[in-house]
Structure 1
């Protein structure tokens, strides 16, 4: 079974009823992660969440089947969440399928978010024709689609908002639906809104507690890091601390841009240039005119082999931040410094 972000919402509920393996891929890691969360929420009894890295599965393909068929620590249901890079989970999923077909017993649902993989990857080809698996491909969203998602989230939370406010929230979240969702939750709490008692959101409400404006957003820091501007980095990290930026939010913005660079690099090939793309092609790659110069400079710092090394680094840093929330700001600063120095190498 296959889906894209365009038809995922209509496919997800049916897929949850008949699938045990979910493979979310594509250059929009934020959208893939949000889709995995949606499936988790649709499961009749998601139970305990067991997280496994793609690197661990690559080293030990049998680990996935062992975990998927083990009982929860508390005797209830469980589901397996895998954050992988490319085809790291391929052999583990193949082993899980083979043992299931051989009668090894019922397995817990397995959700894989695969950064740098596509629906043409080996893992996707392994799963796409199976009735018990879903392959969903996610491209970087445009402003209109994220604004539409923001309005759907707001409706579900009991917030009524105009199209202009939805676009402001989408922009401030860097077109990341996970960050937009957290803003909607925050705004609904501030406005004391609920589905039973809807409240109209005003521009004043958004100014009071909403996401940072574009000028105060994460992107100056993201651009500094990915261009390897080590001389500017201390100032940007200081700004991050002064503005109280969410470390995970900052890292998600870095992950999103790195995924975009990987997609652009793949599209252009070894000798291509952004100058050779027309406006439509740039739009499909998520390149807005205000960001084009920054992206051009970042592409000079990140060829394919360097991007291949960046993906696992970001995954490990993400895991470290989630596991050490009290030290997240320090860990992020250290990680971004390493990445900036690596970007500066030619």
Structure 2
């Protein structure tokens, strides 16, 4: 039988121990692995592996020993409780062994959990699970988790109170991160809020979200966007000592001002524009960039981008002889002066 959508999400959290088995397949190995971890843990509990109620086997081994899976399904554990025979990375070369185990399964046997990559509709394994009256097949696609799934992760992590803004941030983050990284972020957030009964806010999400590789440029870009001209040179000197290249500074500045322009020119307003930016911006940094976008306005931001593009072309010109870092600093001072104009 096929499972999809909310039915599949609910089944992963609360599987039926009396089912013959479950096939989980999909092109993203990490997403498949996370769902498999959830369902096996729900079936045998956190100590099931220690109590030898879980038998793992690569699908490739079934070609050499086709009886291996059926033996694991029929074996009796010394410890009481549900058992699982897990076949990893299956394809149709392992189909004979898997289909034989499905056919010979009886109540009280270990449940058969099979994971696989992307399977065609004609796959023997997929067809067997989909046609079986007591087994399920679930396709895992590359769609980001929905709100219900994110709320389930937060609940499992012990985060019951989450503000609306924080949930918006997490939803945006789930679309940018891989499933493993997103789950780690939730776990990190749970540790961050341990012992803190207040609701999760945007600042908490920002503190736990993976940092951008351009994070070191943030101070400089904020100084420029907020017309703090006198602070530009000291920060430029520090960045130069850290090995930051002039072209990298221009690229970072262009990205920052493009984001401000996208927000300032959004028909629904700068606040909605900031919320639509990808990758998403969180917490205090989002509030700061929103204020910058509102202060600059779309017209001045267009002019700022023209200055940055002009400087970028100068840096890449074969005939350019002026010191590159000085060119960049002059442009940033020019932008800061433009920001101060009313």
TM-score, reference length from structure 1: 0.51
DSSP 3-state at the match of 1:43 = helix
* Partner of residue 153, structure 2: 153
List runs of 5+ in structure 2 lacking aligned partners.
Answer: 216-277, 280-342
Are 2:204 and 1:200 equivalent residues in the alignment?
no
Shift of 1:172: 5.3
Q: Determine the C-alpha separation between the residues in 1 that align with 2:62 and 2:130.
A: 20
* Partner of residue 30, structure 2: 30
Shift of 1:181: 2.4
1:182 corresponds to which of 155, 159, 184: 184
1:66 corresponds to which of 63, 67, 71: 71
Structure 1 pair 136–108 and aligned structure 2 pair: CA distance change class (3 A): same
Q: Determine the C-alpha separation between the residues in 2 that align with 1:119 and 1:24.
A: 14
Shift of 1:66: 0.8
List runs of 5+ in structure 1 lacking aligned partners.
Answer: 218-289, 292-346
Structure 1 pair 164–99 and aligned structure 2 pair: CA distance change class (3 A): closer
8 A Cα contact 2:170 2:205, kept in partner:
no
Aligned positions of 1:79-228 closer than 5 A: 79-100=84-105, 106-142=108-144, 145-146=145-146, 148-156=148-156, 157-159=158-160, 160-161=162-163, 162-171=166-175, 173-174=177-178, 176=179, 178-192=180-194, 199-208=198-207, 210-213=208-211, 215=213
8 A Cα contact 1:87 1:117, kept in partner:
no
8 A Cα contact 1:51 1:81, kept in partner:
yes
Structure 1 pair 67–106 and aligned structure 2 pair: CA distance change class (3 A): same
TM-score, reference length from structure 2: 0.52
Structure 1 pair 187–12 and aligned structure 2 pair: CA distance change class (3 A): closer
Say which one has the larger Rg: 2
8 A Cα contact 2:13 2:38, kept in partner:
no
Map Cα deviations across residues 180-206 of structure 1 (whole Å, 9 max, x no partner): 22321221122116xxx8542233323
Are 2:9 and 1:9 equivalent residues in the alignment?
yes
8 A Cα contact 1:21 1:132, kept in partner:
yes
* Partner of residue 60, structure 2: 55
Shift of 1:88: 4.1
Count of residue correspondences: 209
8 A Cα contact 1:151 1:166, kept in partner:
no
8 A Cα contact 1:172 1:213, kept in partner:
no
8 A Cα contact 2:86 2:112, kept in partner:
yes
The Cα RMSD (Å) is 3.4
Map Cα deviations across residues 41-92 of structure 1 (whole Å, 9 max, x no partner): 4326683322111111232221001112223365665312221143243112
Q: Determine the C-alpha separation between the residues in 2 that align with 1:83 and 1:92.
A: 13
Q: Determine the C-alpha separation between the residues in 1 that align with 2:35 and 2:152.
A: 15
